[in-house]
Amino acid sequence: MDVARGLAADRFPPDSAEGVADASPAPGEWLDGLCRLAAHLTGAPMAALSLADAERGNLVGSHGMPTDMDRCDVVSLTESLDAYLAGRFSAATAGRRECDRASGVCDLPLRIGGAHAFLATAVGGGKGGTVAALTVFDMPSRHWSDQDGATLSEVAALLPASSWTSHRHESADPAGLLDGMPEACIAVDAAGLVRAFNRAAQRLLGFSADQVLGRPLETTLAPGYRDEPVAAALARLFAAEPVRPVRREISVRHRDGYRITTHACLAVVHGSAGPLVTVRLADRTAQDAAEEQTERQTAFLAALLNSLSVGVIACDENAHVVVVNRALRRVHHLPESASLTGRPLSAVGPTSLFNTAMQPLPWDEVPLIRALHGESLTDVEVLVQLPDQRLRGFAATARPIVGGDGRHLGAVAVAHETTTLRHTEQFRRCHHEVEKALRDTASIAEAAPAVLQAVTAALGWPCAELFLADEAGQELQAVGHHSGTGGDIDGFFDHAPIKGLGVTGRVWATGQPLWVPDISGYAEITTEYERHRAELCVRNGIRTILAVPVCDGGTLLGVLTCYAGTAEVHEDLLIVLLDGIATQIGIYIALRRAEDLARQLTRSQDDFLDLIGHEMRTPLTAITANVGLLADEADSLDEEQRHMLATVARNTSVLRRIVDALLDLSALEAGRRRLATERIDLAAVADRAILAIRLVAADRGIQVQSTVDGPVWIDGDETRLRQVLDDLLSNAVNYSPAGAEVRLDLRSHGRHTELCVTDTGIGTPEPERARVFDRFFRASNVRHHGTPGSGLGLSRARTIVRLHHGTITLEADEPTGTIVRVRLPLATKT
């Protein structure tokens, strides 16, 4: 193994123990370097250099060994490997390196760092059963080749034999032994004088060897241990000569005066100068700082986790709890002070987990367990329901925890509550279902069962009922209910609420929502009726009641009451959502009542029109006929009589025109008169209307202009459209002053044609423009203008235009006047 010697030659001069001790790097570090070299050349992750006899062992050099194997606490090596090697390597064969090796599977009492295989060789020349062993370890089971053994022996040969003597027998050299150790080590005799003080101790405590050697331990290092004299402790140690090292925590003085807290490992050895106590010191300053930092980080992490509103849980590779934060404890009603660390996950309540179909969640489908098996999950929906508690929804995100070496160390899961979101989504669907149920039914009594079923399904509550007030508001009557049990529960439904008593009655009286979280403890129960209702609720498993008013504006129409079997939170959210359903019901009821009223008004209007048609037309006809007869004999009448007769004839004619227009409009709206639709040229119809109005306009000093792009072909009733043009042009001329101008423009745009009649007359006040198409409505400035009219012309025009699938609007023409715009569809091409 010249390679091994070449690699080590520059770092570990092999001439003598003194040479090794004086070499760079410092003593102790080169022993670790020797182990590192052995591990590298054999391809092993760990290596150790140890001293052992039949009773004890000490680790003096290492590479890659577990961090918890403190050099002062070598019980694991002593109990597992050193004792085995001490029996294997004897003084008679220790020098035969090539054959004195041990290897195999590490099935000893305590495995080292998870290793399953080792290869060891003797180092130096031991005496009296003492062995120095260089050992390499590997994680998987491994067959060590002859080449591996030769390599390890070659590396061991780099260590001078003179450095290794028994620490138990009289040939031991404590100073040489201690100087080769990386820890701070001192040796003290029975008189309390320091006999050895290695270089690591000099670096730790600041004293030189000359300042300490041969001097009392108490006056130099002034060790402190349990507030008792060190001499007494040393005397007990010399007297007991313990087989295993004794571990203590002591403080020693630094040369600069401050004290250092250390872990001390004490053992009794025998050398040429007699028994000595060797003390190996490990500075606790860094460890204490690390422990404090760890404690602070742990406290910070705990505070951080407990401040989160989301639930957090983590487990190790064995599915045992590592951490559960406060939010998740509250979800599962676990004590916040109880420690769950190390307990199986079953302690956290997986039996309360369900999937979205409300089926118990199998163990292998729990998000944390799936993550433990290597899956990464995001927003998996999980439901939680504890006995007698409300159902809650959560979105769980889970990830495996992987170490730097790729090994799975455990898993972590984070769950944020989605109960509010689920309620919102459920109520969104509920609104649609309620809307559909109301739309598809003719009355609230018919719609109530489907509406209440949608509400209870959205809430997840067992039952609900709807009450409506009569028209006088004196009684509240049940119009429907729904029960998850499929029927009436012990006479619970169809009762008559009493105003001001009970949950429903109080909402009826106040018009405000009422939330009762626990009816059995409701303080407002004062009457026999209320006690009876509360007992019915408790007997049927009802705990929470929520009632909201059904209103139309400020008018209370009824009460919607819902019942839950478990305690509920999110009071405000549920009230808002349920109030939305009640508003839907209220609007529906108001519309139905408005429709009933409209039907009644329509019937009254039809009756009135029938009265006009039958009871007024006949007298008007008679009056007109008689006026005609009198007019034929006008020569026998004087001037005043002829004037009176003309007035009667004129007013009778006006009244007849109004009656005819009203009956015509009603017939069109009711569909009793249909359009005589044909292909017509609207431009030609407009030209004829312009020609007819010009004579009237000229008498009033008004000009009528037109721009007509023709022909304009549409499918329509020419007579009816001529009526529209005549009414619009007549209005424009009648309400325009002398010298004004009236225009008619007809242009086509795409699939429509637009006809505009514009005047510069008195116009219409803006607040009244929306009503000009109503029957009998005349704007206030028109009434004051003194121009006669019935208020039916624009109403009939709108009806005719709508029957032609068009639109008619009225706009202001700046600075004065009016624009009436009619849009009609062009004829379809054939």
List the Cα angle 789/795/796 in 5-degree steps: 95
What does each C-alpha distance from 819 to 112, 552, 657, 787 come to in angstroms? 101, 39, 26, 19
CA–chain centroid gap for 256, Å, is 59
Cα-Cα-Cα-Cα dihedral of 768, 774, 778, 781, to 10°? 10
Structure token pair of residue 341: 């660390």
Burial status of residue 322 (CB atoms within 10 A of its CB: 0-12, 13-18, 19 or more): middle
- The pLDDT value recorded for residue 162 is 47
Across the chain, which distance is largest between two alpha carbons, in Å? 175
- Please state the domain extents for the chain: 2-163, 174-283, 289-417, 678-825
* Separation between Cα atoms, residue 458 and residue 558, nearest integer Å: 21
List the Cα angle 806/808/811 in 5-degree steps: 150
Residue 288: how many CA atoms within 13 Å on its side-chain side? 9
**Which among 563, 582, 444 has a CA at the least distance from the CA of 511?**
582
Task: Please list, residue by residue across 504-521, b when 16 or more beta carbons sit within 10 angstroms of its beta carbon and e when fewer do.
Answer: bbbbbeeeebbbbeebee
Does the domain made of 2-163 have the CATH classification 3.40.50.300? Answer: no
Architecture of domain 678-825: 2-Layer Sandwich (3.30)
Length of the chain: 830
**pTM greater than 0.75:** no
Element (H, E) at 311: strand 311-316
DSSP 716-781: E-HHHHHHHHHHHHHHHHHTS-TT-EEEEEEEEETTEEEEEEEE-SS---GGGGGGTTSTT---HH
Does the domain made of 289-417 have the CATH classification 3.20.20.80? Answer: no
Across 79-86, average pLDDT: 48
Which pairing describes strands 246-253 and 117-123: parallel, antiparallel, or unpaired? unpaired
* Separation between Cα atoms, residue 804 and residue 719, nearest integer Å: 13
Mean pLDDT lowest among 188-202, 259-273, 306-320, 589-603? 589-603
Q: Where are the alpha helices (H) located in 162-229, listed in sequence order? A: 174-179, 199-205, 209-212, 217-220
**Which among 647, 658, 629, 728 has a CA at the least distance from the CA of 686?**
728
Across 407-411, average pLDDT: 90
pLDDT in tens, 4-19: 444 343 333 333 333 3
Fold of 174-283: Beta-Lactamase (3.30.450)
Across 121-149, average pLDDT: 72
* Separation between Cα atoms, residue 142 and residue 45, nearest integer Å: 12
Please determine, for residue 116, whether its predicted confidence score (pLDDT) is greater than 70: yes
Please determine, for residue 96, whether its predicted confidence score (pLDDT) is greater than 50: no
pLDDT in tens, 1-60: 443 444 343 333 333 333 333 333 444 566 778 888 888 888 888 888 876 654 555 677
**In the predicted model, what is the mean pLDDT of the chain?**
77
Task: Please list, residue by residue across 51-87, b when 16 or more beta carbons sit within 10 angstroms of its beta carbon and e when fewer do.
Answer: bbbeebbbbbbbbbbeeebbbbbbebbbebbbbbbbe
